[in-house]
A = this chain, B = another copy of it.
């Protein structure tokens, strides 16, 4: 403790010094970034695609606080818990920043005794992970979650979640993708028939989860070396986890002499078959792969799990290639709400989370490469003047336009040069200029200039709003 205190005091002293010298480190915290206007324009496009899809599927929307009581998050994330950001104890409650949107959702359901809801939630979550920002891995990042809670007939909501991922990834045109699907019950049944002791299910599951990043040999040696699994059990797992396919693989495994004897695996495989039938009706099995190596890191999954990965890297000419990675994931978590209910009442849930930082990275790089110009404002008209001493007239006109709902700007100068005003339109993409001058004022007109064509027309002042609307309408 003395050491801790000394460290703190040292830091305080450092801080104090910095203050005195007015020497600041000008940066955002590690693993975080600002979004400038251009990035925001891309972000809005992605959000719009995702929100449209969630609304198309009839979801309501909720929001929860950025932090939760620390104990709300405790015991939900397995080995990942060490990545949770805690707040300092400043008296009062112990708080942590949310690690995902699923646990706050389950807390919300239990707290409000909601047993039936379909909702989406788009918000930032926080993980003290090792950032790799060029590849879209941040410590502060957005999740876009869609979840269906309620007691329903099997696999219908689960199939809808996969349909949603398929719709969003198709809509965003990120290139080819595959959605890997598995089931925690199949994994657990597989662990059982391979001879993994019950107590090691979760930790072996975490090892399997690494298979998308490291080769099997490394995962195997973690299982045997670090986690004390017998080499024979590991090898048996190794045979299963290389399997992936479609309906025919499910049928084969349903006949597998060992797996078919295991109750959990049989249940999982039966549901997986049903899921594939529904996905066939949705016409999306072409991009779905039943993959026994898919494990998902989080503790709370109880049934179907899935993860979407982009298959080809987009900008092959970019020097540092984008790593192809997971852009969406989710699954069924039937026990999580019950962990919050005083009487343990369960609310079955299934949901999907779209991770948009990687998608941003791809779209950002693509945009830079394309040199497409994106507007960062929606301004329809610049109110300008050709002569001096017309500030008051510009203020009057712009005020009329704002009050009529027109998006209008002006330069904040008393006597701006016309050339500077026109240049501002070129730079920011404003399509029209409304020019006031002595003569126009006398005549009761405004000169409307179309920036693209340099055409100029005199418009009667009372028709100006309508004229601007017509000339800037998209339809």
Contact = CB atoms under 8 A, between A and B. Distances in A.
Interface of A: 1, 5, 8, 11, 15, 18-19, 22-30, 32-37, 40, 43-44, 55-72, 74-75, 85-90, 92-95, 97, 107-108, 110-112, 118-119, 124, 126, 128, 140, 148, 150, 152-153, 156-157, 159, 163, 167, 278, 281-283, 339-340, 342, 344, 376-379, 391-392, 395-396, 399, 402-403, 405-409, 412-414
Copies held by the complex: 2
4 nearest A-B pairs in the assembled complex, by CB-CB distance: A152-B412, A37-B60, A58-B409, A32-B65
Nearest to A379: B58
A113 to B, nearest CB: 10
A36 B65 contact: no
Given A19-B75, A90-B128, 4 more contacts: A28-B64, A29-B67, A30-B92, A60-B376
A412 B112 contact: no
A108 B19 contact: no
B65 A281 contact: no
Nearest to A58: B409
B35 A62 contact: yes
Nearest to A75: B19
A65 B395 contact: no
B89 A63 contact: no
A29 B88 contact: no
Contacts of A95: 29
Given A153-B413, A395-B282, A62 B74 contact: no
Contacts of A156: 391, 395, 412-414
A35 to B, nearest CB: 4
A284 to B, nearest CB: 9
A392 to B, nearest CB: 6
Contacts of A35: 62-64
Contact of A282 (B150, B157, B399, B413): B399
Given A24-B71, A344-B22, A34 B62 contact: yes
Contacts of A392: 281
A36 B74 CA distance: 24
Contact of A163 (B24, B148, B167, B399): B399
Nearest to A28: B65
Nearest to A38: B60
B119 A37 contact: yes
Contacts of A124: 66
B24 A407 contact: no
Contacts of A25: 69, 71
